Chains A and B, each alone.
Chain A
């Protein structure tokens, strides 16, 4: 065999093997090798679902790609940004009069400040600019804060967003007039209680006579009968709301025969979501349920990918082979504690996160979901300190009947606050709403019981956050003092 022929075989073989490998990756194989760098925070849950964020057509312009990524950021973060009364919303920067600012930081695009896959330069909040980024726009001309605010004259720009004073997006609890309005208040209110929690916990439960009535009304096939489960259910809000066994285990079934035929031993999350829509929507936006969000790209289907490769009508055998050997491994439909990148107890691993992970399915005991569920997994300092904190002491007193409903503080009080609208209480299952920057927590939760000054100081004290607020803040943020002083002497500077 001639050398030339061997070269041809080598060349063709290499091309074939490379094509097969690339086709495998494109059609449905594991694409981990393509990851340009680790993603930040909880984005790792969806990082292998590339099409969730990267929606632009191949070879699209840089501007088009950035616009498209804006859209995908908004799919998940839009509600949060809207609720935050965004201080630097994109629409404020679209007017061409802001062109000079586009040269500094182009605030029309999320990716100007938040670049993914750049772990080596990523700061808290997925910020990929240097920590003193405010200097770009607020250090000269009309926007020079050192001129506008006498109190700011000697401050470094690295302190703007790191000292409990300002956030780029959410300043609802930090704007000047709000600081002035909430100055000089006692650190703790008399008879403090969270109204949403109070309403939820004051809700009446079935009395013994009603429990008997509910137990007598149970309709379920033999396989689903269990005295213990039925006892728990009859004492729950589900029983008093006429949500029986079949409502979840055999939805839309009316006769006993239909219930028996359609009985599902372990109903999935969609059954809960069919009634608890608001909770489910926030769950899908939160850190536990984001993989269920409707805008997360689904695993690639073999038929669709083969069609993209030019096979309009692929043979069944090829489809079957692709589906057998090239199943898209990502994203898994549910987040598992095994994949968590926060501190968890060793025995908490291996659980998929659904409604039932935190809510015991028949008891529907909100006291369990409000504390014990969280602490059964999370093992960071803040979590493990909770039961030694004054907040938990109040909760124990409330459970013992020594304090009124809502006076106690649970994990859920702060991280999953309840809101009331037209008599309906909704628990937000999106922890991001109050998590970081932690000043987001001030208005929905802290201010129900504490002063603004105490809240700002406490949240700016990392040691106090770590020990779960056992004690008083060790540092004082002067923002309220400065704001009050400026209002007393209103001829200094001008408002933002």
Chain B
């Protein structure tokens, strides 16, 4: 997907979201395209926050810390928390789609895979760099389209923190590694 085409699609999606987050996907847009576009917005925002806020201020310039206890430490919210809080805010507003940032090597255990498809998807994107994973699964009596996208180490802040954290199960992350995955779900019955 070219960058230009991606931008056009993202703009279309922004309009769709602005028009009402609960509106059904366009009749001609399949689930895969919708999750691709949603992921494009998510990963762009996530990369901007990680590179331009956290990595610049906390790692390169050292003017402020980033901490999981950001309130107590008067610090920046970690990129993973930024992503999760956004996902939780979306969950409060709509059931039409949901997303989360997961990993086979999570620092926070609640971000480990909980469904067989999450595990399969995370293993697939780790073993096949550059590829996404798509599937369908039944959860709570409802069918979901599930897409898993690789989450890549884009800045020093990512691998330094994950390699050094006291609770990390893996300490050899490097630039460009798949550290986890973004899982996006759309209910198929609604």
Q: Interface of A with B (CB < 8 Å)?
A: 85, 89, 91-92, 94-102, 142-143, 148, 175, 177-178, 487, 490, 493-496
Since A97-B114, A99-B140, A495-B108 are in contact, a sample of 15 more A-B pairs with Cβ atoms closer than 8 Å, ordered by chain A residue number, is: A91-B88, A94-B88, A94-B91, A95-B91, A96-B98, A96-B140, A96-B185, A97-B185, A142-B112, A178-B72, A493-B167, A494-B169, A495-B107, A495-B166, A496-B108
Number of residues of chain B lying within 8 A (CB) of chain A: 30
A178 touches B167 (CB 8 A): no
Interchain CB contact (< 8 A) of B109 among A94, A487, A490, A496: A496
16 CB contacts below 8 A, A to B, read A94-B88, A94-B92, A96-B98, A96-B139, A97-B98, A97-B115, A97-B183, A101-B114, A143-B109, A177-B69, A178-B69, A493-B167, A494-B169, A495-B107, A496-B108, A496-B110
The B77-92 residues at the A interface (CB cut-off 8 A) are 87-89, 91-92
Complex CA distance for A178 and B68, rounded to whole angstroms: 12
A148 touches B109 (CB 8 A): yes
With a cutoff of 8 Å between Cβ atoms, the chain B residues found around residue A100 in the complex are 114-115
With a cutoff of 8 Å between Cβ atoms, the chain A residues found around residue B110 in the complex are 92, 143, 496
Complex CA distance for A94 and B140, rounded to whole angstroms: 11
The B129-153 residues at the A interface (CB cut-off 8 A) are 139-140, 142, 144
Complex CA distance for A148 and B72, rounded to whole angstroms: 25
Task: Knowing A91-B88, A495-B107, A496-B109, say if A96 contacts B142 (CB, 8 Å).
Answer: yes
Complex CA distance for A99 and B140, rounded to whole angstroms: 5
Please give me the residue from chain A that is nearest to B140 by CB atom: A99
B71 touches A95 (CB 8 A): no
A99 touches B139 (CB 8 A): yes
* B43 close to A (CB within 8 Å): no
Please give me the residue from chain B that is nearest to A93 by CB atom: B91
Q: Interface of B with A (CB < 8 Å)?
A: 68-69, 71-72, 87-89, 91-92, 95, 98, 100, 107-110, 112, 114-115, 118, 139-140, 142, 144, 166-167, 169, 183, 185, 187
A95 touches B140 (CB 8 A): no
Complex CA distance for A332 and B139, rounded to whole angstroms: 47
Interface centre among B140, B142, B169 (most CB of A within 10 A): B140
Name the distance in Å between B81's Cβ and chain A's nearest Cβ: 12
Name the distance in Å between B72's Cβ and chain A's nearest Cβ: 7
Task: Knowing A85-B71, A100-B115, A495-B109, say if A94 contacts B166 (CB, 8 Å).
Answer: no
Please give me the residue from chain B that is nearest to A172 by CB atom: B72
Complex CA distance for A487 and B166, rounded to whole angstroms: 7
Please give me the residue from chain A that is nearest to B72 by CB atom: A178
With a cutoff of 8 Å between Cβ atoms, the chain A residues found around residue B71 in the complex are 85
Name the distance in Å between B102's Cβ and chain A's nearest Cβ: 8
With a cutoff of 8 Å between Cβ atoms, the chain B residues found around residue A143 in the complex are 109-110
With a cutoff of 8 Å between Cβ atoms, the chain B residues found around residue A490 in the complex are 166-167
Please give me the residue from chain A that is nearest to B138 by CB atom: A99
With a cutoff of 8 Å between Cβ atoms, the chain A residues found around residue B114 in the complex are 97-98, 100-101
A95 touches B100 (CB 8 A): yes
With a cutoff of 8 Å between Cβ atoms, the chain A residues found around residue B68 in the complex are 177
With a cutoff of 8 Å between Cβ atoms, the chain A residues found around residue B169 in the complex are 494
With a cutoff of 8 Å between Cβ atoms, the chain A residues found around residue B118 in the complex are 97
Please give me the residue from chain A that is nearest to B85 by CB atom: A91
Complex CA distance for A222 and B160, rounded to whole angstroms: 77
A91 touches B140 (CB 8 A): no
With a cutoff of 8 Å between Cβ atoms, the chain A residues found around residue B92 in the complex are 91, 94
Interchain CB contact (< 8 A) of B144 among A85, A96, A177: A96
Task: Knowing A143-B109, A494-B169, A496-B109, say if A94 contacts B139 (CB, 8 Å).
Answer: no
With a cutoff of 8 Å between Cβ atoms, the chain A residues found around residue B107 in the complex are 494-495
With a cutoff of 8 Å between Cβ atoms, the chain A residues found around residue B112 in the complex are 142
With a cutoff of 8 Å between Cβ atoms, the chain A residues found around residue B167 in the complex are 490, 493-495
Name the distance in Å between A102's Cβ and chain B's nearest Cβ: 6
Name the distance in Å between A489's Cβ and chain B's nearest Cβ: 10
With a cutoff of 8 Å between Cβ atoms, the chain A residues found around residue B89 in the complex are 91
With a cutoff of 8 Å between Cβ atoms, the chain B residues found around residue A487 in the complex are 166
Interchain CB contact (< 8 A) of A142 among B98, B109, B166, B185: B109
With a cutoff of 8 Å between Cβ atoms, the chain B residues found around residue A98 in the complex are 114
Name the distance in Å between A92's Cβ and chain B's nearest Cβ: 7
Complex CA distance for A178 and B72, rounded to whole angstroms: 9
With a cutoff of 8 Å between Cβ atoms, the chain A residues found around residue B142 in the complex are 96
With a cutoff of 8 Å between Cβ atoms, the chain B residues found around residue A101 in the complex are 114
Complex CA distance for A444 and B71, rounded to whole angstroms: 15
Task: Knowing A100-B115, A177-B69, A490-B166, say if A95 contacts B87 (CB, 8 Å).
Answer: yes
Name the distance in Å between A235's Cβ and chain B's nearest Cβ: 41
Name the distance in Å between A309's Cβ and chain B's nearest Cβ: 36
Name the distance in Å between B82's Cβ and chain A's nearest Cβ: 15
With a cutoff of 8 Å between Cβ atoms, the chain A residues found around residue B166 in the complex are 487, 490, 495
Name the distance in Å between A342's Cβ and chain B's nearest Cβ: 34
Interchain CB contact (< 8 A) of A94 among B69, B98, B144, B183: B98
Interchain CB contact (< 8 A) of B98 among A85, A95, A102: A95
With a cutoff of 8 Å between Cβ atoms, the chain B residues found around residue A91 in the complex are 88-89, 91-92
Complex CA distance for A143 and B183, rounded to whole angstroms: 20
Complex CA distance for A490 and B171, rounded to whole angstroms: 13
Complex CA distance for A110 and B87, rounded to whole angstroms: 21
With a cutoff of 8 Å between Cβ atoms, the chain B residues found around residue A148 in the complex are 109
Closest 3 interchain pairs by CB? A495-B167, A99-B140, A490-B166
Complex CA distance for A467 and B89, rounded to whole angstroms: 45
Please give me the residue from chain A that is nearest to B109 by CB atom: A142
Please give me the residue from chain A that is nearest to B102 by CB atom: A97
Complex CA distance for A494 and B105, rounded to whole angstroms: 11
Complex CA distance for A98 and B102, rounded to whole angstroms: 13
Complex CA distance for A490 and B89, rounded to whole angstroms: 33
With a cutoff of 8 Å between Cβ atoms, the chain B residues found around residue A102 in the complex are 140
B91 touches A494 (CB 8 A): no
Task: Knowing A494-B167, A495-B166, say if A97 contacts B139 (CB, 8 Å).
Answer: yes
Please give me the residue from chain A that is nearest to B167 by CB atom: A495
Complex CA distance for A102 and B115, rounded to whole angstroms: 13
Complex CA distance for A91 and B95, rounded to whole angstroms: 11
